[in-house]
Structures are given as C-alpha cells and as structure tokens.
Amino acid sequence: MLKLQDLTKAYRTDEVETVALNNVNIEIEHGEFVAIMGPSGCGKSTLLNIIGMLDTPTSGHYFFQDEDVAGYSEAQLGVIRKQHIGFIFQSFNLIDELSVAENIELALLYHDIPASERKERVAAVMDKVGIAHRAKHMPSQLSGGQQQRVAVARAVVGNQSMILADEPTGNLDTAHGQEVMEMLQQLNEEGTTIVMVTHSPSHADYARRTINLLDGHVVTESMRA
C-alpha cells in the first residue's frame, strides 16, 4: 500500500534545525493494522501527517500505491488524500456548527457525489457505527465516545482504503476507548488499512504490527503472533 524510503523531516526555525524524522523506512501492506508507539516528541504525529499527506517530507521517498508522492504539490496530494485516506483525531475535530449527519456528509461533499447518494451513504454509515438516532444532534450534545464514533463514520463514509488515527482513544474513558478500538478492528477485518498512533499498549495490541519510534528513528518493529 505504501512505502517510506529514507524519509527525513526537519523543521527549521531561525537558527535551530530540529529533525523530527530521520531516515525512516517503513512499508505497510494493504489491509494491515499498524500501531505507531513512542514517547511524546518522538515524531509519531509527524510521521502520521506525512503518511496522511497533510505534510511533506524534507527528503526521501514516499511511495503511495507505487507512486512517489514525495514531491507532489499540496493540490496533488489533496486529490489522492480525499480519495484514499480517512482521518480520526484525538480531539474528534467535528465542526461545532454542523449536525452529526452534516459532519459525516462533509467527507463526501468535496467528491462530486450527488446529494441523494450522499444521504444514503451517510445513513448507512450512521447505522453501522450505531449513531443513527443522533443524526440531527450537534456535536456539543454528544458524549466523547459518540463524537468519536461520528468521526469514525466520517473517516469511512467515502470508502477510503486507509484510515489514519491519531490517538483516537486519548480523550475517551476505558469503556468508550474499547468501543472505538473494536470498531476499528472490525473495519480492518473488512479490508481497511489502519495506521494508528497510540500511547496505550493495550490498544496497540489490536494492531498486528507495532512500530516503535524514538527521536525520529524506528527502533523496533514487532509483529503480533
């Protein structure tokens, strides 16, 4: 699905250069569930942002479905991103002024999909994540777990082949965290590639492979039996 080759990301301020990722080589197959772990500041989020094409590497190659996207412009990346990648954030990032259904629909809005089809797909995905009865509610009226379920629905409604989750359970209690993890697992079993950044070893256990980062390097990779 994707392959990172000698990937480096450096942030440059006036005088100091901070290397967030240093010569990272990672390959992720289609249908994998990968967890990325590591202490704060190790470059997890940077890695996820680059994989999600929200950020571009300083050097190295990023092959997405055999296409080297490392040098692509923001607009080019946007096109690939909206077709293939869904996002789930720790802080849910729902738009406060839009209802649950409208928030989910947002992921289809920029895809040239007719309104009637959008409605059907939104309804279907709300059923799937068990949020249909809340369709007209505003995000502020939902619990954290419900909000994250809306975010998951939004991430998959466009039939994205890969979901990037940045600490999806970080703002949730244990029970709700569990719920979200099971949902991701189910999606993975249905064929969606999932890359997740997490601090929680127990949630990392849902993944079949764990990549540990430290100071911008991949230190270990472990496969679940």
Partner 1 sequence: MLLTNYFVSAWRNIYKHKLFSAINILGLAIGLASCILIALFVRDEISYDKFWSNADNMYRVHLTFNVPGRDPMKLAMAPGPVIHAWKKDFPQVTHASRLSQREPTVIIGDRYFVDDITLVDPDFPEIFDLNAVSGDLTNAFIGFDNIVLNETLANKYFGSKQAVGQIITLDFGSFQRDYNVAAVIKDMPKNSQVIPKALITIDEPAWKEQPWMFDAWFSTNAQLYFKLSDTTNIESINRELPAFVNRNFPKIPIGGDNVKNSDLIIMSTMNVKDLHLAPSRDGEYQDRGNKNTVMIFATVATLILIIAAINFMNLSTARASQRAKEVSLRKVMGASRKDLIVQFLGESVLLTFFGLLIALAIVEIALPKYNEILDKTFSIDYGSSDVLYIIILAISVGILGGSYPAFFLSHFRPAENLKANKSAETKASVKLRYALVILQFSVSITLFVSTAVVYGQMLYAKNMDLGYNTDNVLAVHEISRDVVQKKLPLLVEEIKRMPNVSAVTWSDFTPGRANQNNTIVHVEGQSNEDGILIGSRGIGYDYFNAYDVPIIAGREYSRERGDRDVSTDDLRNGINYTGSIMINESAIGRLGLGSPQEAVGKLIFAGAGQPEENLTATYEIIGVVPDIHFDSLKSTIRPEIYEIHADYGNAISARFSGDPEELVENVRRLWEQEIPSIPFDYSFIREAVARQYNAEQGQANMFAAFSALAILIACLGLYGLASFTADRRTKEIGIRKVMGASVFDVVKLLVWQFSKPVIIANLIAWPISYYAMSIWLENFVYRIEAFFIIGFCLLAGIAALLIAWGTVAGNSVRVASANPINALRYE
**Contact letters for partner 1, residues 143-172 (x by CB under 8 A):** -----------x---x--------------
Shortest Å distance, C-beta 9 to partner 1: 12
- Retrieve residue 73's tokens: 């412009």
C-alpha closest to that of 98 among 177, 180, 154, 155: 154
Minimum CB–partner distance for residue 49 and partner 1 (Å)? 5
Of 7, 34, 101, 107, which one interacts with partner 1 (CB under 8 A)? 107
- Figure out which of the listed residues 29, 39, 95, 133 binds partner 1, where binding follows CB under 8 A: 95
CA-CA-CA-CA torsion for 152, 158, 164, 165, nearest 10 degrees? Answer: -10
Output 72 or 89, the one with its CB closest to partner 1.
89
Q: Are 168 and 184 in contact (CB under 8 A)?
A: yes
Q: Which of residues 31 and 41 has its CB atom nearest to partner 1 in the complex?
A: 41
Residue ranges in the chain assigned as alpha helix (H): 44-51, 74-84, 100-109, 115-129, 144-156, 174-189, 201-204
Q: 3-class SS at 128?
A: helix
Q: For partner 1, which is the closer residue by CB, 54 or 123? A: 54
213 binds partner 1 (CB under 8 A): no
Q: Does 110 bind partner 1 (CB under 8 A)?
A: yes
Binding stretches for partner 1 (CB under 8 A):
45, 49, 52, 54-55, 75, 78, 81-82, 87, 89, 91, 93-97, 106-107, 109-111, 154, 158
